[in-house]
Amino acid sequence: MPGESTIRPSGGPTPSFEEGELPPSETDAPKEDSGSGSGSGSGSGGMMRSSMIMAVGTMASRLSGFARTIVLAAAIGTHLLGDAYHTAHTIPFILNDLLIGGLMASVVIPFLVKRRKRDADGGKATEDRLFTSMVLALFLVTAVAILAAEGLIWLYGSRFTPVQFETSVYLARFLLSQIFFVGLSGLLSAMLNTRGKFGAAVWAPVLNNFVIMGVAGMFLVVAGPGRTPETVSSAELTLLGAGTAAGMALQALVLFVALTRTGYRWRPRLDLRGSGLGEALRTAGWMMLYTLLTQAGLWITTNIANAANVAGIEQGLDVGAGISAYNLAYQLFQLPYAIIAVSLITVLLPRMSAHADDRNWDSVRSDFSRTLRISAFVLVPTAFAVAMFAEPLSILAFARGSVSVADATAIGQILAVMSLGLLPFTVFQLMLRVFFAMGDTKTPALIGGANLAVHSGLALVAYLLLPPNLVVVGVAAGFMLSFLSGLTIAGQILSRRIGGLDGKHVIGTLLRLHLAVVPSIAAGFGVLWFFDTQVGSGLLTYIGAPVAGCAVGALLFLVSARLLRVPELSSAVELIRGRLRR
């Protein structure tokens, strides 16, 4: 969301560096204000207030975004209509990442921070020039995209049925307008952050999520569950498309009002000569290449998932297992990473960047090792727990409205495969942050090419060899394996550059953690067996199995970790205590 390092809709894949996530900028974390026009609150008190606002707002955005996903799934399902909507809804964010997002994180935000510090007017003229040029560029890109809606939908849904294709194009005419508002929201959030104002940037997306939940709820009431491209009316599609776009427009408006309340008044100007922006843009080449490669991976995933769902329905398989199911599984998959690892990485990056600037490689290595091990202490048992209980969790979350129990089970199968890659996914993200801390964007771009080769190759194999209802499961497996290959390459390069990665300590901890989780896995399977044989399917099983399994598993894991003397047990406890004291 704007204001975070990820420029993504909370209802679609958020992914990751593989699908468009961008490195946190200097303004992602709260800091003391400097320069004119700064917001209130400098010093430790202001930093603590800003940290609390961001933490609460980010959690609210995650939870409301997940609730939005559930309501939207109930309204449009995971079959052909759901795929038509999700494809049209994803394209604006893809284009924004390709044309605007990469520049925002890697060039524009650091440039604004620098000019606010150095310019006599506090960077006001630079901000006016940037704001004017961005508004014009976004308007032009949005207009061209809307005119080219049919071609864009064909790029991502070439195997759609004729009626499904027309439905997706109709939705895209509305949803592509989000390009303007997404890009503008990112710029407005950056300008607010440079003023020490963080509240609007993290809370405005919550309002957007509630608007879309309302729109999806209205669609479900008006149209009813189980709509298809053949049975949905143009008025119902207009409600869905225009309502979604209105949520993003409202988000941008709230951010603009918040910016004006800081005292900023926009004065249109296009005298770009000598502004320094052109030189800054020329430094973004490798980041733009990386963004292009990550979006190529999303293009492959979307096309193969859409084709598989159409093929499955044509063969009479009444299970929605296309891009909609993939997106919904990803929403559950990324929650542990977003809640646990991102908070640690956000705190780590500024400190690690300072150590890298001083060429203090021992401290860089120590920061990396400690963050990885503390994250792994939570993520290893979480990954196995989600994998074991993926199906009941998915049924509990999604099996309502237009999503059947069979559809939700398919989502659970995708989630189970994804969750087993949670640790490699997190380690890879952390390694990329080390490169960015060293000011290196070239190496991540080249590694991104290797990831894309693995991901696309395995996705193609899945499409050719697996039945349609399992193709997306294979695509998810390829997605996760690409991170395993990526971290192997990245680890070798980083180890040479900084004199090792504390490998003995890291590997020893990971081995102990995986041994400690074995009793929990056994208990989890026992709980599943008990509920399957003694209780049967039903709400009691969908709630009881995950709750009982996780409770018993967590206790066994903590006991095993203590017996195996996993040092991260005490570190994790201290971290939680520190968070609670705040």
Percentage of the chain exceeding pLDDT 70: 80
- pLDDT computed for residue 158 by the predictor: 87
Assign 581 a pLDDT band (cuts: 50, 70, 90): low
Structure tokens, 416 = 């189970």
* Separation between Cα atoms, residue 197 and residue 44, nearest integer Å: 15
What pLDDT, on a 0 to 100 scale, did the predictor assign at position 572? Answer: 62
Q: Does 252 have pLDDT greater than 90? A: yes
pLDDT band at 22 (very low <50, low <70, confident <90, very high): very low
Provide the phi-psi class of 3: left if phi over 0, else alpha when psi is between -120 and 50, else beta.
left
Task: Check residues 337 and 277 and name the one with the higher pLDDT.
Answer: 337
> Taking all residues of the chain, what is their mean pLDDT, rounded to a whole number?
81
pLDDT tens by residue, 393-421: 999 989 988 888 888 999 999 999 999 99
Tell me whether residue 270 is exposed, middle or buried, using C-beta atoms within 10 angstroms of its C-beta: 0 to 12, 13 to 18, 19 or more: exposed
3-state SS class at 119: coil
Q: Which of 14-23, 99-108, 212-221, 285-294 has the lowest mean pLDDT?
A: 14-23
Positions of E strands within 48-182:
none
Pick the more confident residue, 428 or 343: 428
Question: Is residue 242's pLDDT more than 90?
Answer: yes
Q: Which two tokens stand for residue 135?
A: 């508004």
Where b means 16+ CB within 10 Å and e means fewer, 124-149 reads bbbbbbbbbbbbeebeebbeebbeeb
Give which of 383, 173, 134 is closest to 270, Cα–Cα: 134
Q: How confident is the model at residue 294, as a pLDDT?
A: 79
Query: Tokens 């017996």 sit at which residue?
Result: 563
pLDDT bin (cut points 50, 70, 90) of residue 373 is confident
Residues near 379 by Cβ (< 8 Å), separated by ≥ 6?
336, 337, 340, 341, 422, 423, 426
Burial category of 97 from C-beta neighbours within 10 Å (exposed 0-12, middle 13-18, buried 19 and up)? buried
> Which amino acid makes up residue 272?
L
Cα 407 to the center of its chain, rounded Å: 23
Describe the chain by its helix, strand, coil percentages, rounded to 5. Answer: 80, 0, 20
pLDDT band, very low/low/confident/very high, at 42 (cuts 50, 70, 90):
very low
Work out the average pLDDT over 46-55. 53
What integer pLDDT is reported at residue 191 of this predicted model? 81
| pLDDT greater at residue 339 or residue 574 | 339
pTM for the full predicted model: 0.79
Confidence of residue 18 (pLDDT cuts 50, 70, 90): very low
Mean pLDDT of 244-260: 94
pLDDT for 8 equals 40
Summarised one tens digit per residue, pLDDT across range 531-577 is 988 888 788 888 999 999 999 999 999 999 989 988 877 766 665 55
Report how far residue 44's alpha carbon sits from residue 48's, in angstroms, rounded to the nearest whole number.
6
Report the percent of the chain where pLDDT is more than 90. Answer: 40
Instruction: State residue 576's pLDDT score.
Output: 55
Q: Is the pLDDT of residue 105 over 80?
A: no
